[in-house]
Amino acid sequence: MEDLVKKLEEQISFLQNEISQMSNELYSQQKEVSVLKKQISNIEKRINELENSDDAGMVMIDKKPPHY
């Protein structure tokens, strides 16, 4: 019986450690997702600004590069 209790305590300790590691990883991933969402938002804003600007930007997009 004592061996069983010791084995269960070891398993609980191991699982607590695993949960802690997973929690830390999840927190790190959530921070990264937040940063990526902000970057996407900034890119979308920039795209909208370019689309709504005068046609000078469109001319550059449609213009062939000088090596043609």
Q: Is residue 68 part of a domain?
A: no
Could you read off the pLDDT of 32-43 as tens digits, one per residue? 999 999 999 999
Q: Could you give the number of structural domains in the chain?
A: 1
Could you read off the pLDDT of 46-59 as tens digits, one per residue? 999 998 886 555 55
**What is the rounded CA–CA span in Å between residue 16 and residue 22?**
10
2 pLDDT higher than 70: yes
Q: Is residue 16 part of a domain?
A: yes
Tokens at 66, concatenated? 């000088």
Domain with 13, as residue range(s), is: 2-62
**Burial per residue of 37-64, b for 16 or more beta-carbon CB atoms within 10 angstroms, e otherwise:** eeeeeeeeeeeeeeeeeeeeeeeeeeee
Q: Is residue 50 part of a domain?
A: yes
- pLDDT, residue 11, reads 98
- pLDDT, residue 66, reads 75
**What is the rounded CA–CA span in Å between residue 52 and residue 58?**
10
Asked if residues 19 and 12 have their Cβ atoms less than 8 Å apart, the reply is: no
Q: Is residue 67 part of a domain?
A: no
